[in-house]
């Protein structure tokens, strides 16, 4: 029985195709592994954030009770605890945002730092809807960080007035804490949105 041999060029082409397929499979497996790790991290993060949100809300109830009872010393102590939670939330949000460039799904890191959405994708090819959603969330998180920093600083600046039981200071403090609570909820909503998108993309 005669066996027909492929020309050398045909063998080379076949090997190139096989190598390409193997590389593509390895890349897909690597992306899937990264996505799985990110999904687990997001789930853990949102669980932690829900616990911290519950803690923050409990402290708000307690500090309102102290205010009604004119318990100035207890009020100040609870306010310090609230600032501790605020600082922790701020640091966690900073960490999450700093890790986002590494989770750019093919978008170069330097472009992730671009000043506009078009700059971020201009030379990286046409972005997918998921790319734009991730970039939108990243920018929203950066804005939240800036607001959190200002709120935390403002609460700290009220310390003297709060220690004296000044009514204007306590009113201002309550408004600042409510604003921070809103930012915490927005942060959780963003993470949960990303988790939903990952599940839908499976």
- Domain range summary for the chain, segments of one domain joined by +: 17-200
Quick one: tokens of 17?
């195709």
Q: How many residues does the chain have?
A: 202
pLDDT per residue over 20-74, tens digit each?
Answer: 665 555 555 444 444 555 556 667 788 889 999 999 999 999 999 999 999 999 9
Dihedral angle sign, alpha carbons of residues 195, 199, 200, 202: positive
The mean pLDDT of 125-141, rounded to a whole number, is 79
Q: How confident is the model at residue 75 (pLDDT cuts 50, 70, 90)?
A: very high
Closest CA to 137 of 84, 198, 200: 198
Region 102-129: mean pLDDT is: 49
Token readout for 43 is: 């789930």
Distance between alpha carbon 20 and the CA centroid of its chain, in Å?
35
Distance CA 69, CA 71 (A): 5
Strand positions, DSSP E, the chain:
none
d(CA 201, CA 42): 15
pTM of the model: 0.70
């Amino acid at each position: 029985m005669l066996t027909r041999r492929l020309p050398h060029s045909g063998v080379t082409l076949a090997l190139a195709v096989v190598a390409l397929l193997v590389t593509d499979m390895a890349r897909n497996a690597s992306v899937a592994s990264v996505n799985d790790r990110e999904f687990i991290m997001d789930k853990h993060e949102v669980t932690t954030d829900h616990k911290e949100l519950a803690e923050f809300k409990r402290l708000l109830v307690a500090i309102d009770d102290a205010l009604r009872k004119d318990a100035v010393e207890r009020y100040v102590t609870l306010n310090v605890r609230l600032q501790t939670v605020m600082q922790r939330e701020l640091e966690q949000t900073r960490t999450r945002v700093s890790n986002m460039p590494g989770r750019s799904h093919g978008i170069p890191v330097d472009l992730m730092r671009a000043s506009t959405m078009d700059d971020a994708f201009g030379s990286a090819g046409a972005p997918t809807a998921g790319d734009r959603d991730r970039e939108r969330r990243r920018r929203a998180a950066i804005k939240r960080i800036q607001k959190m920093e200002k709120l935390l600083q403002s609460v700290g600046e009220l310390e003297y007035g709060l220690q004296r039981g000044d009514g204007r200071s306590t009113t201002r403090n309550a408004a600042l804490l409510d604003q921070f609570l809103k930012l915490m909820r927005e942060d959780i909503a963003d993470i949960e949105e990303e988790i939903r998108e990952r599940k839908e993309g499976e």
